[in-house]
Amino acid sequence: MTPEDQEETQPLLGPPGGSAPLSRRVFLAAFAAALGPLSFGFALGYSSPAIPSLRRAASPALRLDDAAASWFGAIVTLGAAAGGVLGGWLVDRAGRKLSLLLCTVPFVVGFAVITAAQNVWMLLGGRLLTGLACGIASLVAPVYISEISYPSVRGLLGSCVQLMVVIGILLAYLAGWVLEWRWLAVLGCVPASFMMLLTCHMPETPRFLLTRQRRQEATAAMQFLWGSEQVWEEPPVGAEHQGFHLAQLRRPGIYKPFIIGISLMAFQQLSGINAVMFYAETIFEEAKFKDSSLASVIVGVIQVLFTAIAALIMDRAGRRLLLTLSGVVMVFSTSAFGAYFKLSQGGPSNSSHVDLLTPLSMEPASASVGLAWLAVGSMCLFIAGFAVGWGPIPWLLMSEIFPLHVKGMATGVCVLTNWFMAFLVTKEFSSVMEVLRPYGAFWLASAFCIFSVLFTLSCVPETKGKTLEQITAHFEGR
Strand partners, 289: 354
Asked whether residue 183 falls in the same domain as residue 259, the answer is: no
The set of residues, in sequence order, having a beta carbon less than 8 Å from that of 34 and lying 6+ positions away, is 141, 145, 160, 161, 163, 164
Asked whether residue 90 falls in the same domain as residue 212, the answer is: yes
Asked, for residue 253, whether it belongs to a domain, the answer is yes
pLDDT at 115: 93
Task: Note whether 39 and 106 are within 8 A (CB).
Answer: no
Task: Please tell me the total count of domains within the chain.
Answer: 2
* Sign of the CA dihedral with 441 first, then 446, 452, and 458 last: negative
Q: Is 114 left (phi over 0), alpha (psi -120 to 50) or beta?
A: alpha
Asked whether residue 182 falls in the same domain as residue 286, the answer is: no
CA dihedral 86, 91, 94, 95 (to 10 degrees): 160
Residues of the chain where predicted confidence (pLDDT) is lower than 70: 1-23, 228-249, 274-293, 346-372, 477-478
**Backbone torsions φ then ψ of 354, nearest 5 degrees:** -75, 125
pLDDT at 368: 59
Asked whether residue 64 falls in the same domain as residue 166, the answer is: yes
Asked whether residue 188 falls in the same domain as residue 275, the answer is: no
Asked whether residue 304 falls in the same domain as residue 219, the answer is: no
Question: Where residue 465 sits, what CATH number does that domain have?
Answer: 1.20.1250.20
DSSP state letter for 405:
G
Q: Tally the residues of the chain.
A: 478
Distance CA 441, CA 434 (A): 9
pLDDT at 375: 72
pLDDT at 432: 81
Half-sphere exposure in the Cβ direction for 360 (13 Å, CA)? 9
Asked, for residue 32, whether it belongs to a domain, the answer is yes
Asked, for residue 357, whether it belongs to a domain, the answer is no
DSSP letters spanning 31-94: HHHHHHHHHHHHHHHHHHHHHHHHHT-SSTTT---HHHHHHHHHHHHHHHHHHHHHHHHHHHHT
- Per residue in 145-155, is it b (16+ CB within 10 Å) or e — as a string? bbbbbbbebbb
Give the type of residue at 426.
T
Distance CA 75, CA 80 (A): 9
pLDDT at 394: 94
Q: What pLDDT digit, counting tens, does each position of 61-86 carry?
A: 888 888 888 788 878 888 988 998 89
Asked, for residue 308, whether it belongs to a domain, the answer is yes
pLDDT at 124: 93
Asked, for residue 458, whether it belongs to a domain, the answer is yes
Distance CA 86, CA 93 (A): 11
52 to 140, 212, 279, 428: CA distances (angstroms):
33, 50, 11, 19
404 to 29, 151, 266, 374, 456: CA distances (angstroms):
20, 16, 23, 47, 24
Give the type of residue at 248.
Q
pLDDT at 312: 92
Asked whether residue 261 falls in the same domain as residue 400, the answer is: yes
Structural domain range at position 464: 248-346+367-477
Distance CA 234, CA 386 (A): 40
Q: Is 204 left (phi over 0), alpha (psi -120 to 50) or beta?
A: beta
The set of residues, in sequence order, having a beta carbon less than 8 Å from that of 193 and lying 6+ positions away, is 104, 108
Distance CA 365, CA 467 (A): 57
Asked whether residue 222 falls in the same domain as residue 327, the answer is: no
- Residue at which a domain ends, from 198, 228, 258: 228
Query: ∠ CA(415), CA(418), CA(424), 5° rounding?
Result: 140
Asked, for residue 237, whether it belongs to a domain, the answer is no
Asked, for residue 107, whether it belongs to a domain, the answer is yes
pLDDT at 229: 56
Asked whether residue 315 falls in the same domain as residue 176, the answer is: no
Give the type of residue at 167.
I
Q: How many Å separate Cα 470 from the centre of its chain?
A: 25
pLDDT at 245: 60
- Residue at which a domain ends, from 169, 195, 228: 228
Asked whether residue 376 falls in the same domain as residue 423, the answer is: yes
Asked, for residue 14, whether it belongs to a domain, the answer is no
Asked whether residue 135 falls in the same domain as residue 267, the answer is: no
Q: How many CB atoms lie within 10 A of CB 140?
A: 31
Asked whether residue 257 falls in the same domain as residue 184, the answer is: no
